[in-house]
A and B are shown apart, each in its own frame.
Chain A
Amino acid sequence: MNRSKQTLAKTTAAAVMLAFIGNASAQFSPQTELHLDAATRNTLGDADLMNNIRYYFCGYTDNPGFVNIVRSWNTIKIPLTQIAGDTWYLGSKYVGQYILRSPTGFVLVDSLNNTAEARDLTIPALQSLGLSASLPLQGVYLTHGHGDHDGGANYLRQTLNPPIYLGSGDANNKAYNPIRIDSTNLAPQPITIGGRTLTLIPTPGHTPGTMAAVIPVQDNGREVNLLVTGGSNMGGLSTVYPYLDSLERTYALAKAMNVEGGMHPHQFFEGTLQKILDSGLSTPSQYVVGNDKYMRGLAVWRECTAAFASNLDATAALPVWRASKTEFIAASPAPNRLAARVFNGWGPVAGQQVSFTLEGRGTACTATTDENGVATCKSSLGPLKGKDDLVTATFAGAEGSGYVDLGSKVTALANNGCADLAAIRAAMGARAGDANYASRLDVDQNGVIDGRDLSSVTRDIQPGFCK
């Protein structure tokens, strides 16, 4: 199927799914609605998160018909497609594998549907990338033991004989004799294959042996951590709770390891691959979305899972996860002023502490957010050095009755505010949603960049300082 037909298929699918959503609303319990709504709010209006993660993962609850459509995508083959400096996707629009190349050989994430695909797709792809005695297949990491992920493993075992890693919960009766990763040890388990260290984390739920992994890849001259998540559908009562717990642990790992993007074997859940198919690989890669956005996507997924659990179990009492965003407001961080705003899909996060730290120097100051979610303070370490001091504003997160406010942070070089002043002048009249609108420049958060924002920032800058 060519690209225009694929686009048409997706558009048609979207129309069908919207119809489902239209019919599905109001049939859920208040608790389920609460989590579905939270998933939407956690996108903060980001179209990628809304149209992919929110759409599909919450679709298991509010639009189950989507599964019939995406399953048909198994016949739409995706050729070998580079997604980062050393990483490729191969398979179909429905499910695929990732190929990682290093100076010493290859690592595969998943093995496609069956022997025929491993023989006719994987092996030629590896050969085209240089598979040889000196550049061998050094290992295969399987996200879980379902056939659309491990169907080609036995062929790979018979032809190239790499070590094949699988969670022990799925490993019984597998002809390819996998190396078992202990599924009962829920702590992260690093394994090194061909010099590349994958941080595996058992995530039981979709299957007992499902494993996620943080994988370092090369992109735009630097190493970036991407997260491979395994299963997607959530099953029944006995599996959705482990699934939810696994997702929460995955969130913690992704935060701790500064994961900047995802590589789901069912790529449509993230929707990143389509961007590369549409317009080519960018620099940096479209897969590198940044930790802030990736974490928000996981929070969306978590809320979709909580909605699914609440739908299946009316007695579920799961707190709502609210993903926050922290941003420096205009003319900050400046030599004499540190100011950041914390907000989420529900509005400003008020009454919470924000700490400002200077790289290599320590905490400059801590302040509490006001009713607008803005925390402001002056550095106790003396005036910041413009373009030298790297400042991080951190909201650590908080818990309330029935909800968890997830932490967030932002990092920027100290500046004198003149660039922001110029940006406000250039964006005068821009409204939320316009391309030249930036939330951080909208000091009073009235949805438009106007004279009041200009006056506010002007007051914060030394008179005559900016030419």
Chain B
Amino acid sequence: MIDRETAREVLQTALARGGDSAQLYAERTASTTLRLDAGRLDEAAAGVDQGVGLSLQEGGRVAYANGNKLDRESLSRMAERLSRSLSSPAETPRSIPVVFKERPLALISPILVPAATVPIERKVEVLRRADAAARAHDARVSQVTAFYRDTTQDVLVAGSDGTWGSETRQYTTIFVTAVARQGDEIRTGSESRSETRGFEFFDVHLPEDVGREAARLAILQLSARPAPAGTFTVVLSSKAGGTMVHEACGHGLEADFIEKSLSAYAGKLGQQVASPLVTVVDDGTLPHLRGSSAMDDEGAPTTRAVLIEKGILKGFLHSRKTARAMDAQPTGHGRRESYGHLPLPRMRNTIILPGETPPQEILAGVKEGIFVCRMGGGEVDVATGNFVFNCSEAYMIRDGKVAEPIRDATLIGNGPEVLSSIDQVGSDLGYGVGTCGKEGQGVPVADAQPTLRIPRLTVGGVAT
């Protein structure tokens, strides 16, 4: 995308009138999105977006310019303008030496079949297989929408501190929504799978399985009764994904909130913030997970960051800026949606590690409660730690057994309270995927947890 000579020149121009450091981020993202809706391929979109972002750091302040003109002249104009946006730019330009030190990066998610080499017909075929399987599952499946998306992102980071790193990330995603109808009732079920993998993704995730799962969930919703309103004991199955850990503690441990004491977890390093049964890590190095990559969007290698160990708060998720401000080691969590955005500390793959209790035993111990088998989206208020997450598959528990399905349940709790109250942790582990939003930037994430028991959570249902 950009050669070393151009990168060096741009960084030197940016720093010519002052500032502590400069960094150049260049990106080329090609994507194909296909939508098979009501059996027709009614949206076929593909294209390429490329651009650069140039940042100039001066104390706690950063100036950032970005755009999608990549020629040498436009870049040098961008750098020149940036150098003049300092609080007091020097009259006489200086020349700062920039020597790039390329460090080898681990290959975390090897790509066997790049999306660009796969003809569109084969991508469409994946959707037709998912669609057929969903429709064949039950006659009450009245409509199916299947999305395919591949994204190939080439990233280059060059910094005046010598950082030079590049990698290619490929994301493959399938998302199916089935609509089930029965009389006037209309319910939906959705299933999505997404990984950092090439087209061989579909050898692991059969489109038929994805379609059938969406259909199963939609049909289940037809027979589900509205969720009760009130406070219940909740068992989160390992199959439920990890939205709870993402909302209840992940966001609150992003160091930008900690640095400014805006999080319920601020100032608690080394203290007990969760049950001793709870250990939380955020690991960007796990092969093929949706939140994995070799380096972050500031050129720092990704790591396995231990956040909470046996209930004790051990660390935070850092970007370059927060690591410097808090005098901490970078953790490889500086991420951005695209060249159009400044990097922020963000989660990757957030995991509550498994414990020792057999999952069946956890369920069997609950007299009346809610069994959550699948979580949807969620949200958190970082200041209080109050969070919500939505359940797309949930059941009542009666006398230790799974009873009738319930629908439209959002669970409401407080992060530190809930983590401290967890009194049983299963020996299993299950994963979920999502796109995490923060300050208008979406980044791909995954999360995981074992089966967990939370003694009290508010269920936002309709049946009082």
Q: Do A and B bind each other?
A: no
